[in-house]
A = this chain, B = another copy of it.
Amino acid sequence: MSEVPALATFQPLYQQIKTLLMQSLESGEWKPGEMIPAETELALRFKVSQGTVRKAIDELSAENLLIRRQGKGTFVASHQEPRSAFRFLRLTDDHGAAIVYQSQFLECRRLRAPADVAKWLELKTGDAAIMIRRLLLIGGSPVVLDEIWLPGTLFRGLTAEKLADYKGPMYGLFESEYGTRMIRADERIKAVAADEEAARWLKVNPGTPLLSVERVSFTYQDKPVEVRKGRYLTTQWHYHNELG
């Protein structure tokens, strides 16, 4: 007798539920900050037990897509909430002092994507892109100089004015005004010497060692939607990382 071979396509039920939940998130059925239906209700909708829904939500919660609050409900994570506002910025004061950032936007232009940016964003060289340059200040001192590239199609109408007017983190603006939510990012860190321009903005001598932080951010489906090239001044601050 021939056996039915185990199909490579086997997927646990809770994984399928997880996929369905992610689709609802991506489609905007539940928006950032909103509460999603109760576990029991989702169990009814999907015709599975509560435990199965629970496991799916557990994973989405571990991936920072959902936030559980006992007694209240489960909510769609948002970059506008303090909990995850500066989740991607790993800069810390050397002595543990609280850090309050201030943004200063230097430039916001619509350009054609250069080759390296196009590659990271999975565009064609020359496609429309938006380039933002800004300075992050701590207590009035410039600390980070960022050059940010976004796909032009996703961020039509983004201007320096809108950036400057918005209260809260930039990723909060991106998710509420442009429907693009940053979920995860990869960073490549190097030590480099400050060039003339970075030196000018960061008020240091050219040649001063700076941290070069190149970030590619992804939204749902692992789609790259932002490239960011940062220069960090690390005399009084450092990039903090936890290894598990």
Interface residue ranges, A against B (CB under 8 Å): 62-64, 87-88, 90, 92, 94, 184-193, 207, 209-212, 215, 232, 234, 238-244
How close is A16's CB to chain B, nearest CB, in angstroms?
Answer: 19
How close is A88's CB to chain B, nearest CB, in angstroms?
Answer: 5
Contacting residue for A190 out of B186, B188, B234, CB 8 A: B234
In the complex, A173 Cα to B98 Cα: how many Å?
39
Q: Is the CB of B184 within 8 A of A234?
A: no
Q: Is the CB of B243 within 8 A of A189?
A: no
Q: Given A185-B243, A240-B186, does the pair A193, B211 have CB atoms closer than 8 Å?
A: no
In the complex, A135 Cα to B188 Cα: how many Å?
22
Q: How many copies does the complex hold?
A: 2
* A/B interface sample: 16 pairs, CB < 8 A: A92-B188, A94-B188, A184-B242, A184-B244, A186-B242, A187-B241, A187-B243, A188-B238, A188-B240, A189-B211, A189-B241, A190-B211, A191-B209, A191-B212, A193-B209, A209-B209
In the complex, A90 Cα to B188 Cα: how many Å?
10
Q: Which residues of B contact A90 (CB under 8 A)?
A: 241, 243
Q: Is the CB of A211 within 8 A of B185?
A: no
How close is A51's CB to chain B, nearest CB, in angstroms?
Answer: 9
Q: Which residues of B contact A88 (CB under 8 A)?
A: 243
Contacting residue for A241 out of B94, B192, B238, B241, CB 8 A: B241
Q: Which residues of B contact A215 (CB under 8 A)?
A: 243
Q: Given A209-B193, A209-B209, A210-B209, does the pair A188, B63 have CB atoms closer than 8 Å?
A: no
